[in-house]
Amino acid sequence: MTSFDGPAYQQRIDALAAQGSDVHGEAALVRSLSPRTVLDAGCGTGRVAIELARHGIGVVGVDIDASMLGEARRRAPALEWLQGDLCTLALGRTFDVVVLAGNVPLFCEVSARPQLVTACAAHVASGGALVAGLQLDRGYDLEEFDGACRASGLFLAARWATWSGEPFAVGGDYAVSLFGRPGARV
């Protein structure tokens, strides 16, 4: 497992925001789904979760890295931050949306990726959705990801090339996939 420096990571995000970059694209897409509750799986320093909470959405952030979570807790101490392995996550509750922003599956062992998808999908409520962004040139292809989602009882509802909804084209280097649980509004 890779270890991160949460404060240094957040400084990079803050610098991008100061330069005018939109650092809330993931949160904007999730908000468009009108969730009441969101699980930010692989939340890092809390960028997505904090933005969602700012819009009145109930959010829980989970990450395996203590440094990233420490920064999230420093930035938003009132939110629920949990340290845990997404491959074995079992919170005993479900959410309207589970979001995996920032290539989350790419940060776990290749052999554990199906377990990560299964564990995260188990937290999607009936009628809810899982949305994930993946860099496609880093050894995890869409067929494998899609198969793990289907095996977890989810169906592909939409796919884009960016979090802002640019059309996806086969052969692109990034995909944002929206999977629904049967009965979903997506």
pLDDT tens for each residue of 79-129: 999 999 999 999 999 999 999 998 888 888 889 999 999 999 999 999 999
* Span 48-93, pLDDT tens digits: 999 999 999 999 999 999 988 999 999 999 999 999 999 999 999 9
Give the pLDDT score at 1: 47
Alpha carbon distances (Å) from 17 to 13, 37, 105, 132, 165: 6, 26, 25, 22, 20
pTM above 0.85, yes or no: yes
The answer on pLDDT for 141 being more than 90 is no
Cβ atoms of residues 92 and 39 within 8 Å: no
Give the pLDDT score at 13: 67
Give the pLDDT score at 185: 55
Distance CA 82, CA 61 (A): 6
Q: Edge-to-edge strands of the sheet including 155-160? A: 80-83, 58-63, 37-41, 95-100, 124-135, 174-180, 155-160
Confidence of residue 18 (pLDDT cuts 50, 70, 90): confident
Domain coordinates of the chain in residue numbers? 6-180
3-state DSSP assignment of residue 99: strand
If one looks up domain 6-180 in CATH, what number appears? 3.40.50.150
The answer on pLDDT for 132 being more than 80 is yes
